[in-house]
A and B are shown apart, each in its own frame.
Chain A
């Protein structure tokens, strides 16, 4: 059995030592579901972004190799690719 996740709430309007100043509140089932969905969404977004970055880098290296084969110098290729 795993412990139910919690969230920490700090009430800035209450003085230190007040019993309600800091509360540790267990997440509801709805909150857990919402947060898991949110985390999954960001994980997918990040995976898609990283795949796109990897493809872009691969395209760049492929283009560089083809330009080298055409006889361009390293400096000329860098001037083109940035």
Chain B
């Protein structure tokens, strides 16, 4: 398995889109580290995945650990996931996220495996695992991460994975 950096960019504005993604890899991985602006959304900022710029036919389920209470959350619509800061009082804080996209060219549904953790300064640093499915027969040719004002700034890296 070989990881190849396709792009590495710092955020600007309200979203970042990687367009014309090469169709030569087996899987994709998006990794980013961002300073979460929890002032805009309580303890977490919301970020939305938009494969090919679309917001339809995408949903996920999240396993969230915040200490008390831990919970399983079903995201009924959309590709959103929440970025957790270090705790409910520390702002801003960094969150790191890995999104593994298996078989991004398949004509079957595309699966996003999202793994995130936040700064470890709190007694119960939050973390979450999320599985999101995009029900489309189209290959992923672009990927937008829409963060609005949830992120102050961050660094995004898109990898191509060759098996």
| Chain A interfacial positions (CB closer than 8 Å to B) | 5-14, 22, 24, 27, 35, 38-39, 41-43, 45-46, 49, 53, 57
The answer on a CB contact under 8 Å between A7 and B69 is no
A10-B9, A22-B9 given as contacts; is B48 within 8 A of A38 (CB)? yes
The answer on a CB contact under 8 Å between A7 and B46 is no
User: Interface size for chain B: under 10, 10 to 19, 20 to 34, or 35 or more residues?
Assistant: 20 to 34
A8-B9, A12-B6, A12-B7 given as contacts; is B82 within 8 A of A46 (CB)? yes
Q: What is the CB-to-nearest-CB distance from B27 to chain A, in angstroms, rounded to a whole number?
A: 15
The answer on a CB contact under 8 Å between A38 and B55 is yes
The answer for the CA separation of A53 and B15 in the assembled complex, in Å, is: 30
Q: Which residues of chain B are within 8 angstroms of A53 by Cβ–Cβ distance?
A: 69, 71
The answer on a CB contact under 8 Å between A35 and B82 is no
The answer for the CA separation of A79 and B75 in the assembled complex, in Å, is: 30
